[in-house]
Structure 1
Amino acid sequence: MGSLLKKCEYHCTRSRLVSVGQLLKWMDSTACLSAERHAGSPCITNSVDDVHFDHTIGVGQVVNIKAKVNGAFTSSMKVGIAVSCEDPFSNCQWNVCNAFAIFCGMQVIPRTQAEQMEYSIAAERRWRMRLIPAEIITDLLSSSTEYKDPVPAERTQVESVALVLPPHIMAWMENVATIAAH
């Protein structure tokens, strides 16, 4: 396996490479979908950490990006991201990088009277949860009729696969040229 991976790396260094910026964009999109599946609403990226690139990706290779919510907290979610690559001609596969991203749900804007009531109840519940004893919190939660079960972690898994083709490179070059021209 080691010699096959070296052969794939050699082939990759001789071909045009996918930019790290483009790869980060794909990773962010995939991870955001995972976070949005969990939250049931639009999410935004707060931060990305622990990104370490082990290998590169060349044109003609297949990129596989997997993301899954690893933890959900009061106002944020931690999403694990794994990127692998495959050379379709040699069937060689390798890990490109792993990362963690933190996403926050976008603020809900209540529009209807019912939504405003739900929003007020949620704000009250949040305030009470910080100030009153655990027994009362348990009572409050058990009497709520609007309680929604949490989304199972396996439902948050998202996978994105792309074949890197020369037109991608041309589009990226056009974007860079346009930015440079401005």
Structure 2
Amino acid sequence: MEIILKKASESLVMMTELVLPNDTNVFGNLMGGRLMYWMDIASALSAQKHANAPVVTASVDNISFEAPILLGNVVYIEAKVSRAFTTSMEVHIRVWGEDLKRQHKYKSNEAYYTFVSLNADGKPSPVPQLTPQSEYEQKLYEGAMRRRQLRLILGGKMKPNDAFELKALFAEE
């Protein structure tokens, strides 16, 4: 099997949306489900760019809602693959809102999505490995294995004793 390396920046997807009345709840805030839908689209596009193949969502975790995005505000979603495994990829998503009237941009959300690359038969297929370029990308890359092990434990696909990266965090020297 040929090992292909790709830069994290090659998977970058930027998506922009305008919050309209149909996107909001009774308080005039963007509905969380609508934002998660947009985040899933942006992160799937990022994973597909990296894998150069169709992908499916395997998991969504750690969506942190920090600040509401209001009716009439603009939503900016940045999605980038943070680490590639054998057939899966973790995508890191950051979301900002912008109040155009006040010319104020603010961080709203952050999350991690996991995608699996599929071949023409709908079976998992290998993905290119990732080479982080910046210090920030390196930090995300290094933490991805721990986040993956935690997802696998919580999903019942890994025993806690097999999570060596997680155990290392708690090991006494």
Q: Shared topology, TM-score over 0.5?
A: yes
SS in structure 2 at match of 1:56: coil
2:35 maps to 23
Q: How does 1:18-97 map to 2 (within 5 A)?
A: 18-97=30-109
Runs of 4+ in 1 over 6 A off after TM superposition: 151-154
1:113 maps to none
Percent identical across equivalent pairs?
34
Mark the structure with the bigger radius of gyration.
1
How many Å separate the matches in 2 of 1:14 and 1:76? 38
* 1:14 Cα offset (Å): 9.5
Q: Which moved more, 1:21-30 or 1:100-109?
A: 100-109
SS in structure 1 at match of 2:90: strand
Normalised to the residue count of structure 2, the TM-score between the two structures is 0.55
Against the structure 1 CA distance between its residues 89 and 27, is the aligned structure 2 distance closer, same or farther, given a 3 Å change threshold? same
Write the deviation string for residues 55-108 of structure 1: whole angstroms up to 9, x where unpaired: 111111000000000000101000000000000011111111100010001233
Structure number with the bigger relative contact order (C-alpha 8 A, sep ≥ 6) is: 1
Against the structure 1 CA distance between its residues 56 and 149, is the aligned structure 2 distance closer, same or farther, given a 3 Å change threshold? closer
Write the deviation string for residues 107-131 of structure 1: whole angstroms up to 9, x where unpaired: 3339xxxxxxxxxxxx9xx9xxxxx
Q: How does 1:1-182 map to 2 (within 5 A)?
A: 16-109=28-121
Q: How many residue pairs are counted as aligned between the two chains?
A: 108
**Structure 1 residues not aligned, in runs of 5+:** 1-12, 111-122, 127-147, 155-182
* 1:153 Cα offset (Å): 6.3
Contact 2:98/2:105 (<8 A) preserved: yes
How many Å separate the matches in 1 of 2:26 and 2:101? 15
How many Å separate the matches in 2 of 1:66 and 1:149? 21
Structure (1/2) with the larger strand percentage: 2
